[in-house]
Structure 1
């Protein structure tokens, strides 16, 4: 106990200084809490601080993502592109941090390595990577769903003599962006063709002497349709800010799209073709999020759209055999994240670009000179690992989090997350997981959904403090019901047939395999309505003490 009395104590600790974390720190301070934030990077920004690869940008409309602008926290902000690039986004986050004055709340270049709940004291004991400690009453994780980098298990990675890095650790430039996007005279290899790879590849292909793309599984990619924004055009697209924000709150994912009320099978072939053509030409995720309402529940409906997009790929890639390699065969359209692309398929018409199908010819090893595939050594100067992340729970897994009776969160979630509303887990009092597993902000426009979640949680904390409660923890029955609801909702969609990044796959010793959804795929609007009902009933389902 003497040691604890000498340890700095705060009402709340926030892990992470991305858009959600810093808004949580700001909101808690506004209601009078003492707050300390910890961030592994040297400044705010989260995703937009770390991911500085060329081509990195939003796939959400900037004016729909920018909650701080919509809420007039940064009323003077003007977006320059419909889908802002990473440098502009980092400037936006930094500007918001200045307006909210959150930097003094944070300790940067500091990574949380453990957090232990001390039941007798009802506090969390948090240890940093420099072996310093703090305690807090409330602990908030805002580590992000896509922040724990995942490197492939390929032998020899460390032997390569050229430059190599994971895409999320692209060397930083002196300003907000990447160090360099000029690959003149360079032989470049990019491993991975997910959302990140699809953004990087066209940029690298412009200047590289040669580009080898190592593809394991193709994805359904559709045009981003980015363009310059002026304040006048933003006003035309969005209208009045308050009304637009209210509209976003009504949509399934807080994107500015509403689904067609028809089922695909109820439309004629001509009607479907006309709709698909209009959606394909429309900027953004409209083709995924505003098509026929049974896209993700009917294989027939999905096949109509998949066949249409496959036809577009065949039109854009001149080599028919190569086009077939770029068309997914193992998952339905939209059951994995749909990468938004700019001239991605046209890249494969260039003489300096070669697609390597590593399902046909696997990568054997990385050598000092390059990548060995089968009997062929592809000599390279640069290797980019666009291999994604250990999604949603990956960053939490890297922190030793222990609740009651020293149970680790990792062991509690070994077969998949168990939560109440995706915000807390029984046995881990006062620990909130923002934009985390099974809540309504991870499969959503995070700029808006994450901020709305912050506001709900802040109201809960304020409610507790006003009534003298010092502890909040889910009731087992409500947690079980919510977790079952998450899995049941997921199982009724075609998403359940795909091994996307939002699925936890566990291989058991008996050879069986368990697949658990890490996200909640129900309507974000319905999720928030349920959260509001819980709050109106005095935070029903939580034990408040």
Structure 2
């Protein structure tokens, strides 16, 4: 009996707890974490709100949804056989292909037997007496575990605008992140798209091809750059496959885990002719190079940022025939790269089509949604379909939608009222045995690369705890303070900190999200990993282990 109890404690299981670990979410991070927890011998349950695996690539099935990281830098790297087995068909894979890929992974590892679908978590509370977590689902059922791991994503809590009359519209309406599985037909329809962020840009490109009339309601124009997507031939895929070690090594070395990283030169280290040629080169190349592979001072030096902004503004003027429309599409309140840069394919050319109209809602605000369409301050429009491309309550939103309660009844939402705090973005003091795979202040960028690192870090911590007979882990407050001081220091001097965006915690559609904060980690991914590695190398002294 005693020996049996000792074995239970070492694996993190007590007889009165249902599971060793509960994972919230079956996207890329939840799936990989499940694989690693099984290897530790932990009895694990994953709760997923959707009816299938894939997370981002399950929910975001709107027309045009695709990667803006190169496909071969985005997939899992941990399984050599999987890398040999799977072939990408495009440099930037569309949503259906990515969803198929993740279902293949679920099949290969038989993940679904430990995943409960249509199971939305509404609350999670620390139980001091049992030293574990009680998780409550939307159906009212309760489930307990020693450890709780959140795999809920950084961009997974969709937000809707607050226009009067939204429930009165008699046509079809959709949010891009809550798109139906059944096809939506646009041919011959009058369609409105509200929003011109990354998802808005992608959906506008597709809807404009067939809609009888597309009206785009834009509040904040964004700087967009060409994606330059292309098909991957079987021969090219074989060549890519031969370079996977090199590709993932490169991702591990770059600032944001992309294949691109800042140029070592400053903007004004070169002649105007050399600068223009370099920017032309970046504008003609695939992916995020023009954003994250530009001159190293582009995001900190105001004059340098004005140079790249001027260059891209001129590109927009060249591509959009109507000068008035072109000026409407050029941001005036922020410089290039200081907000997330959507990548596009003929986005600007859409506005040259006779079936596409652009409405500036700063000049003529939307007053209400009517039963037949949208009324602005100067016009009334009739629509068959309204698409809300209004984005997410980023970084914190998915956490706020679950009632997390830690030690002494403290609510995570209250603890983070003035901004999220953490230790390396993965632990929060007062919330023992809770690990966040994509919590605020983890290194983002090319997210799957961050996911794999963070899952491995959490797994190593749990393995360490097993080896030393520990079943309790909590971030020390002084360690949280040191980490947050580093997070704040990294943000000093960034032009992006002067701009309202989800990257500075601002969302006009969410109450309490109007003040700019350091909402994300802005240091490099290698610096982030070095900090995390040091926490582990010092025997996790930044944590209370018991």
TM-score greater than 0.5 by the shorter chain: yes
- Cα distance in 2 for partners of 1:542, 1:218 equals 44
Tell me which of 149, 168, 181 is aligned to 1:159: 168
The residue that corresponds to 1:494 in the other structure is 495
CA RMSD of aligned residues (A): 1.8
- Secondary structure of the equivalent of 1:516? coil
Is contact 1:70–1:241 with CA below 8 Å preserved after alignment? no
Is contact 2:156–2:394 with CA below 8 Å preserved after alignment? yes
Is contact 2:83–2:241 with CA below 8 Å preserved after alignment? no
The residue that corresponds to 1:30 in the other structure is 39
The residue that corresponds to 1:516 in the other structure is 517
- 1:53 lines up with 2:62 in the alignment: yes
- Cα distance in 1 for partners of 2:462, 2:172 equals 48
Q: How much does 1:361 deviate?
A: 0.2
- Cα distance in 1 for partners of 2:506, 2:278 equals 36
- 1:369 lines up with 2:341 in the alignment: no
- 1:422 lines up with 2:431 in the alignment: no
The alpha-carbon distance between structure 1 residues 506 and 191, as it changes in their structure 2 partners (threshold 3 A), is closer
- 1:215 lines up with 2:218 in the alignment: yes
- Secondary structure of the equivalent of 1:449? helix
Is contact 2:194–2:387 with CA below 8 Å preserved after alignment? yes
Q: How does 1:239-278 map to 2 (within 5 A)?
A: 239-278=242-281
Is contact 2:438–2:451 with CA below 8 Å preserved after alignment? yes
Q: How does 1:311-330 map to 2 (within 5 A)?
A: 311-330=314-333
List runs of 5+ in structure 2 lacking aligned partners: 1-12
The residue that corresponds to 1:176 in the other structure is none
The residue that corresponds to 1:543 in the other structure is 544
Is contact 2:17–2:146 with CA below 8 Å preserved after alignment? no
Tell me which of 110, 121, 129 is aligned to 1:112: 121
- Cα distance in 2 for partners of 1:375, 1:307 equals 32
Q: How much does 1:235 deviate?
A: 4.6
Following TM superposition, the consecutive aligned residue runs of length 4 or more in structure 1 with deviations greater than 6 angstroms are: 4-7
The alpha-carbon distance between structure 1 residues 322 and 155, as it changes in their structure 2 partners (threshold 3 A), is same
Q: How much does 1:497 deviate?
A: 0.8
Q: Mean alpha-carbon deviation: is it higher for 114-123 or for 226-235?
A: 226-235
- Secondary structure of the equivalent of 1:528? helix
The residue that corresponds to 1:293 in the other structure is 296
The alpha-carbon distance between structure 1 residues 413 and 71, as it changes in their structure 2 partners (threshold 3 A), is farther
Q: How does 1:101-250 map to 2 (within 5 A)?
A: 101-173=110-182, 179-180=183-184, 182-236=185-239, 239-250=242-253
- Cα distance in 2 for partners of 1:58, 1:104 equals 28
- 1:18 lines up with 2:19 in the alignment: no
- Cα distance in 2 for partners of 1:92, 1:69 equals 15
The residue that corresponds to 2:478 in the other structure is 477
Q: How much does 1:238 deviate?
A: 6.8
- 1:75 lines up with 2:84 in the alignment: yes
Q: Mean alpha-carbon deviation: is it higher for 228-237 or for 469-478?
A: 228-237
* CA displacement, residues 14-61 of structure 1 (integer Å, 9 cap, x when unaligned): 000001111101111111111000000001010111111000000000
* CA displacement, residues 401-431 of structure 1 (integer Å, 9 cap, x when unaligned): 0000110000000000111111111000011
The alpha-carbon distance between structure 1 residues 99 and 238, as it changes in their structure 2 partners (threshold 3 A), is closer
The alpha-carbon distance between structure 1 residues 75 and 235, as it changes in their structure 2 partners (threshold 3 A), is closer
Is contact 1:506–1:515 with CA below 8 Å preserved after alignment? no
Under a length normalisation based on structure 1, what TM-score does the superposition of the two structures give? 0.95
Q: How much does 1:119 deviate?
A: 1.3
- 1:407 lines up with 2:410 in the alignment: yes
Q: How much does 1:7 deviate?
A: 6.9
- Secondary structure of the equivalent of 2:351? helix
Q: How much does 1:335 deviate?
A: 1.1
Q: How much does 1:73 deviate?
A: 3.7
The alpha-carbon distance between structure 1 residues 235 and 282, as it changes in their structure 2 partners (threshold 3 A), is farther
Is contact 2:364–2:378 with CA below 8 Å preserved after alignment? no
- 1:41 lines up with 2:42 in the alignment: no
- Cα distance in 2 for partners of 1:278, 1:498 equals 27
- 1:279 lines up with 2:288 in the alignment: no
- Secondary structure of the equivalent of 2:126? strand
- 1:100 lines up with 2:103 in the alignment: no
List runs of 5+ in structure 1 lacking aligned partners: 174-178
Is contact 2:123–2:137 with CA below 8 Å preserved after alignment? yes
* CA displacement, residues 49-107 of structure 1 (integer Å, 9 cap, x when unaligned): 11110000000000000124764345300000000000000000000111122111110
- Cα distance in 2 for partners of 1:538, 1:495 equals 36
- Cα distance in 2 for partners of 1:522, 1:293 equals 13
The residue that corresponds to 1:458 in the other structure is 459
The alpha-carbon distance between structure 1 residues 238 and 265, as it changes in their structure 2 partners (threshold 3 A), is farther
Is contact 1:45–1:93 with CA below 8 Å preserved after alignment? yes
Q: Mean alpha-carbon deviation: is it higher for 402-411 or for 511-520?
A: 511-520
The alpha-carbon distance between structure 1 residues 120 and 70, as it changes in their structure 2 partners (threshold 3 A), is closer
Give the number of aligned pairs: 531
Under a length normalisation based on structure 2, what TM-score does the superposition of the two structures give? 0.94
Is contact 1:503–1:517 with CA below 8 Å preserved after alignment? yes
The alpha-carbon distance between structure 1 residues 8 and 464, as it changes in their structure 2 partners (threshold 3 A), is closer
- Cα distance in 2 for partners of 1:237, 1:479 equals 41
- Cα distance in 2 for partners of 1:512, 1:94 equals 35
Q: How much does 1:243 deviate?
A: 2.4
- Cα distance in 1 for partners of 2:81, 2:517 equals 39
Q: How much does 1:514 deviate?
A: 4.1
Is contact 1:8–1:133 with CA below 8 Å preserved after alignment? no
Q: Mean alpha-carbon deviation: is it higher for 234-243 or for 414-423?
A: 234-243
- Cα distance in 2 for partners of 1:188, 1:271 equals 44
